[in-house]
Structures are given as structure tokens and as C-alpha cells.
Structure 1
């Protein structure tokens, strides 16, 4: 079920009303959330429910066995390892089997061996990477004694399948989300209202910005060899805001929806295109994934507490794994390597933690230096998104080569004029709200505290959504 669908328009209020006014006891609320979440997820294909149920069951049983064999570390390690292998095997078969089969076939063919590898004609389950990593978070934390084992199977199923963030994140940690299903929840009007504001901005980013940018990007990319360098730059720009509006928009809707049910999800985006270097960009982009890799791969490898070459090795591994997580294509791996190369100089000079506050804090506009830093970082990210968007490495190289030709100075805009307007509107609103949790958060003093002003803003955004919706419907990160 899509957030931006008529089905969800009916689904959400029904679930909300039953949750708060019919199933008032905690146990029944959790059970109802599990049922609602399985309906939500099974809307695409009921067969997907088998996989998520298996992942949930394996992880729940592994946690119970780890506690049962307390003091017998070898058995605990075997149980935890088995669960990790089982979950990653399910993910690997559905997401990566064909990639490895095809590439091994090419490899053997290049050395003179003709090997016929069998590929599988299977549908990639929606959100499998997200809920698999969420399940692994629990297993690892229980094994490392960072989290008490969950003995309530209903709460655990609710933790894995909670529908707002089930298919595209944020990738929640068991230490944050699971305990919330143990505690009684009461309706908080202020929290719910702020959640609705965040959802509204998320819908604007998805339906108006991302979907219109997608249409313009698809036109340009579909015939890029006959376009000027400037037009190709616009194609990269449109995709850059498509993927941001689409994915951060989903996260805003997910976080806002969760707040309607008294659940707080972690922040997933922190205005990444206002970053002053690539290190800051990665602290602000897809935060739940980057911190997951940091805690469960980077730090166990030694993190930054190693000799310099090992720190760089660990960093490279993280970026390559991040690229591969996104999909079975060399473009994603190259995209990860590209960002690692951008990250290395900052690490070598000890400047990868230089910018941890908001840009132009306490000021209306950035300085000339800050503006230049943001623009340069944005262009670096844009080049990365072109690699990410390309169908293969050859196309990425060809696109970038044509974009950087002399026709880059042939400034003319034939596609996506309305999308450019929506991008400007997005940037302006988010710039003024860059120190907030989301772009429509209302705090402190100011004109936004006046009710008529707020409602004018709400209705204006709703009108934009109704009148200027793009033609794209799917969320781009569903394929990952």
C-alpha cells in the first residue's frame, strides 16, 4: 500500500480510530498494529508476508535461545551467527543472487570457461533490506547484552512490522523502538498535530517536488545523448531533488504517521543539501542507515581507533557496503566508492567532524564561504547521483562526459520549468527551518504561532498537492 494512494487515505483513519477508541489496552493495541501492518504490507503481494514472518520468527527465537544459554558463549555465538546467516541468506537470494550469477558467468567466460548459471525470475519483496536490518539490530544487541531479550512475541512482531516505517525506513534500532511497545501509550494531541504537519510536508516533497522532478529527469535521461551539457546538468539536478524529495518525503510521512500512534521514530534526514562538506552530508543523509553501518560494521572493524590505513580501509568498506545495500548493480558500488574517495581527504586532514552544527546558525543568510562550500558539496553529491541513476557504468561515464562538454554553457531550459519552481520553494522553506526537526515544525516565537497564518500555510500546501501533483507514484526507495 502506498502512502500516496486512495487506499491509504481510508486505511490510516480507520486504523487510527480502532487503535485509540476500540483497542485501548496495550496488548490489544500491539496485536491490532501487527494485523494492520500485515494488511498494509500484504497489499502489494500476500506472499511477501511469508518472508517477513520468517525473518521475525527467526530473530525472536534466536533472542530467546541466547538468553537460555546464558554463560555458554560459544552456543550463544552460534545461535546469533545462525540467525544472521539465515536473514542475510533470504536477503541475498531475493536481492543479489542474479547479480552474482551473471557476474560469475562473465568472469568464467573471460577466462575461457563456458558456465551456464541459472538465474531466478523472482520479484524483489518491497522493503526487504529495511526490515532485515531492523531484525539484525535486535539479534546483535541482545547478543552483545545491550538490550534485554523480548519475551512478548506480539510486541516483537509489532517492532519488525510497524507499518509506517516498514518498507522504506527509518531503519529503527531495537533499543529505541522495541521498548515503546512495552509501555502504555496515551493520545498526545500536540504530538499528533505536529505529526500531521510533518506528514503534510512529506506529501508535498513527494507528490509535488519529487514526482515533478521525476517526470523532467525521465525525459532528459531517456534521450540524454541528444541533449546539451546544460540540459544534462538539469537532468542531474532533477534526479538529485527527486531522490531527496521522494525518500525524505517518505521518512517525514512515516515519522509523522508513527506519532499519531504515540510512537517516536528516529530522524532520517537533517537537510543534507545544506552541508558544507561530504562528511557533513553523510551525517545528514539517510541517518538511520549510516549510523547502522557505523555501529554494526565500522566500529566492530576497529572504527577510528586503528592505524590510519585501517581507518581508511574501514571507511571504504562502509561506503562499498552502503552502495551494495542499495542494489545489485555496479553503479551503486561505484557510487559508494566515489563517496569514499571524497571522504578520504577530510579524514586524512582530521576535518571529517568539522561541521556538526547547522550552517549559518543564528543568521539569516550564509556567508560567502559557507555558500560556496554548500554549492561545491551539492555539486559533488549531484555527480554521485548521476552515477547512482545510470543503468550501468558506461552510461554514467558517457552522461558525465557529455554534461562536462562545451555545451554546458549553452544555457536554455526546455524541460522541467515548473519542477525548478518547486525546487526553489522547497529550498527556501527548508532553509528557514533548517534548525528544526522538520520543515513545518512550529516552535518559539513568530508569526507562525497565529492560528490563521498556520491554516493559510496548510491550505496552500494542500492546494499545491492537489493542483500540481506529478505523474510519478511509486517511492524510489521501494526498489532497495
Structure 2
């Protein structure tokens, strides 16, 4: 069941009505049943994996709590339970990648061995809920939260349907208390949630799905393209991926909000970042903060020597790449971002004592350089994220500037290769411009709240305009999957 499907359009109102009609003490049952139904719609067999993960982490947390006086016992339980969770993730997501690469290495050493692979379907959202269980277990061990006693509530925490497929990766300290709190229906909160969902659908159906046509056209048949076509397809992919993932997140946050539950903000205008470090404070925030708190800081963070600090950054980003997929493309993509951050550390304008940071005017001028530069660096890394293989990624890098010496021909060839006309460009650039204005405004204010406070004759034309854009620009009757579902 996709967020952008007719079945979800029926599912969510039913859950909403049942949830607010029944007494508070029974609402967790509605959430649990609806979450498991939603998850089972992708395949009943997936229920066994998420249920097993839930039982293991729930039991381990209670065992850690019961023997807290004995320091060795809770640590042993933590290591064992986290190992089991990681093993589950490894088995489904990385086993074939590991055996294929091991076989390749052994063959290079003249040890003939064929890779042993398994034909297993990757459970939807497994990377997200496994990381969530790990953070919960670590937080219980550290004493930052109490072990949840109510199994039903904890099962909802792991499987809550708006975020189970693509996050956000919720922390127990934020979501679990909300599942216990007596909620009362609030019109303003529900209204905000619906408007946030509408904006998410605009990003997904109009921008992400619209741009995917050109991105797939090029990246699915790279040998047929060269020159500016490769650059434009990469730029379109950067926008597509952002709108696809953040669009999903907006729909997830909106779906939860109409049920009185607040999930973690996962994006904050990432393409207005002034550095790679700033980018990762704005992009997939729940993952980047997870990696910071459970990988980077335990490794020593920046409280170590320069070489060790650089190694900590690189390890963290390599894990980030591997989390995204069992492919060397993703690992290299993570390594590129790690290298970016290490190199950034040598530039004086990033220092808090730098005049560029202390002087508002200098900082403003610097942003005119660093924001476009950061975006270009991010787009360069996206090539390895989007290309199917390393060979295809290097093909893009090798051929993207072919013919650039004759700029007019360079641009005309792109239009001919991709079948782009002036009308096509306007058709795609207008929604991108609207996205740009929204994100730029969101840096200073909550756009939805700002519009909601305007008078009737101002805000309703805006709502109708967005709905018309969704109806006119989106592909009719097409329900496309979200990109991050594969992770």
C-alpha cells in the first residue's frame, strides 16, 4: 500500500475515524492493527521479521532493566540483542553482497569458489526499524529512557504505519511518551497535517514523478547520451530524490499529525546548505543524527587527534553509504561525503572564530559562493548514488563535458537527445521554482502556519492552486514507488 495509492486514500480516513471514536486506552490497538495491516499489504511474510525484531528488543530491554545493578549483565544483553538485530539486517540485505565479494577475492587468490547467494526479498523498511530498535536498546542501556513494559505500545512504536517504510527513524524518548499520552482531537493540528500531506503529494506526484521521466530516460540507457544531457539528468535526479523522499516524509508527518502524534522533522531545505556538514544537518536528519549519536560520538567524535577524527568521520559516512544499499556505489558515495567533510575542516571560514561567521555581511556574501558550490558537490556525489554500477558512474563523469567547447551545440544536443522543448522546460521549471520559494521561505518561518493565518480570500486560492497543480501535472492513474523504499 503506497501513500500515493487509492487504497491509502481509503485506509487513512478509516483509521482516523476509528482512532478518534474509541476511548484513549484502546487507541493503541487501532494503531497496532492498522500498522500491521499496512505492513502486511507488502507481503504477509514480512510480518514475521518485524515481529521477531520487536520481541527480541522488547525482551532485551526488560532484561537490562531487571539486572541493572550488575553492570556486566546489561552490557552482555545489549551486545547480544544488537548483534541479533544487525544479523537480521545483514542476512536480508548484505549476505549476497558479502558472499559475492568474498568469492571474487578468493578467485583472485586462485581459490576457485562460486558465490552462495540467497533469493530473498528485502523486507520493506528493515533498515529503518532495525536502526530504531538499536537506538532504543542503547538508550535503555544508557539509562536515558525506561524500558517499555507494555508490549502493545512498544509494537506500535516499532511498526507505526506512517514511518515504518521510510522513517523518520524515531527515538523512544520522543515517540513512546506520545503513545501513552491522552490525546484529544485538535482541529488546527489535523488541518496542519492535511496541508502538510498536500505539500508532500505535490513534491512526489508533480516534481519527483515528473522529473523521473527524464532521469530514467538517461540513466537507464547511458551509452545513448553524452554531454549536457548527463549533467541535466543528474540535476533533475537531485531534485527528484529530494522531492520523492521529503515528499514521503511530509505525508508521513501529516498522517501522524492528524492522529495527534508528532514525528521528527527529517528535512530542512537541504539544498540551501552552505557546507557539506550543514547539508547533513538538513538532509535525512533522523539518520544523520542517529549516525552521530551511535557511531561517530562513540568512536570518539572530534575529541581525539586530527587523524583519528578524520577516520571517525570517514567510518561514519562509509556506514551511511552501506546503510543505503549493498553496493560499492553507495559505499563510494558515503566515502565521497566523508572526504568532503574532512577537507572542509581545513577551511578557515568554517571556524566559529572566523570573520566570515562573526560578520553578518561577510557571511551573507560567502553564502553566495558556498551554497551553489555545496549543491554542485552534492550533485557530483549523487552520480554514484543513481548509477546502477561503478562503470556507469564513471561513464557519466567521462562524458558529461563532451562537446562543451561549442556551447550552443552542447545545449542543443541535450535538447535533442532528451526530447526537451521550451514548453517542457517551463512545464518542469515552474514547480521547481515553487519548491525553491517554499524552501527559501521555510528557513525563516513555518510556511504552512504562515499561510493558514491569512484571510480566507488569500489562503484558499493558494490551497486550490496547489490542488490544481497536483491534478494537472501528476500522472493520472499511476502509482509509483518511493525511491527510499529500496533501503
TM-score by length of 1: 0.93
Quote the offset at 1:227 in angstroms.
2.3
Indicate if the aligned counterparts of 1:130 and 1:167 stay in contact, CA closer than 8 A.
Answer: yes
In the alignment, does 2:460 pair up with 1:455? yes
Q: Which residue does 1:177 correspond to in 2?
A: 175
The 5-angstrom pairing of residues 265-280 of structure 1 reads 265-280=263-278
The 5-angstrom pairing of residues 201-220 of structure 1 reads 201-220=199-218
Q: In 2 relative to 1, CA 351–43 (structure 1 residues): closer, same or farther, beyond 3 Å?
A: farther
The 5-angstrom pairing of residues 425-440 of structure 1 reads 425-437=434-446, 440=447
Give CA deviations for 1:122-141 in whole Å, capped at 9, x if unaligned: 10111000011111111110
Distance 1:337 1:395 in 2: 18
Q: Which residue does 1:442 correspond to in 2?
A: 449
Quote the offset at 1:353 in angstroms.
6.8
Q: Which residue does 1:20 correspond to in 2?
A: 20
Quote the offset at 1:222 in angstroms.
2.6
Give CA deviations for 1:433-472 in whole Å, capped at 9, x if unaligned: 33235xx4223xx896112221111111111111211456
Aligned residue among 386, 389, 401 for 2:386: 389
Distance 2:448 2:59 in 1: 41
Matched pairs, number? 468
Indicate if the aligned counterparts of 2:222 and 2:392 stay in contact, CA closer than 8 A.
Answer: no
Distance 1:76 1:338 in 2: 37
Q: Please, which runs of 5 or more residues in structure 2 have no aligned partner?
A: none
In the alignment, does 2:260 pair up with 1:262? yes
Distance 1:435 1:113 in 2: 61
Distance 2:349 2:16 in 1: 46
Give CA deviations for 1:219-263 in whole Å, capped at 9, x if unaligned: 122333332311111110111011100001111111111111111
Aligned residue among 57, 60, 83 for 2:58: 60
Distance 2:350 2:294 in 1: 20
The 5-angstrom pairing of residues 232-243 of structure 1 reads 232-243=230-241
Quote the offset at 1:13 in angstroms.
0.4
Distance 2:391 2:65 in 1: 51
Residue aligned with 2:184, SS? coil
Quote the offset at 1:354 in angstroms.
5.7
Indicate if the aligned counterparts of 1:255 and 1:264 stay in contact, CA closer than 8 A.
Answer: yes
Residue aligned with 1:169, SS? coil
Quote the offset at 1:336 in angstroms.
0.6
Quote the offset at 1:19 in angstroms.
0.1
The 5-angstrom pairing of residues 268-417 of structure 1 reads 268-349=266-347, 369-407=366-404, 409=407, 410-412=410-412, 413=415, 414-415=419-420, 417=425
Distance 1:382 1:29 in 2: 44
Give CA deviations for 1:302-340 in whole Å, capped at 9, x if unaligned: 111111111111100110000000000000000011111
Indicate if the aligned counterparts of 1:225 and 1:399 stay in contact, CA closer than 8 A.
Answer: no
Residue aligned with 2:145, SS? coil
Q: In 2 relative to 1, CA 354–467 (structure 1 residues): closer, same or farther, beyond 3 Å?
A: farther
Give CA deviations for 1:263-299 in whole Å, capped at 9, x if unaligned: 1111100000011111111110000000001001111
Q: Which residue does 1:8 correspond to in 2?
A: 8
Q: Which residue does 1:479 correspond to in 2?
A: 486
Q: Which residue does 1:124 correspond to in 2?
A: 122
Aligned residue among 79, 82, 90 for 2:80: 82
The 5-angstrom pairing of residues 127-166 of structure 1 reads 127-166=125-164
Quote the offset at 1:203 in angstroms.
0.6
Quote the offset at 1:32 in angstroms.
1.1
Distance 1:344 1:401 in 2: 26
Q: In 2 relative to 1, CA 234–70 (structure 1 residues): closer, same or farther, beyond 3 Å?
A: same
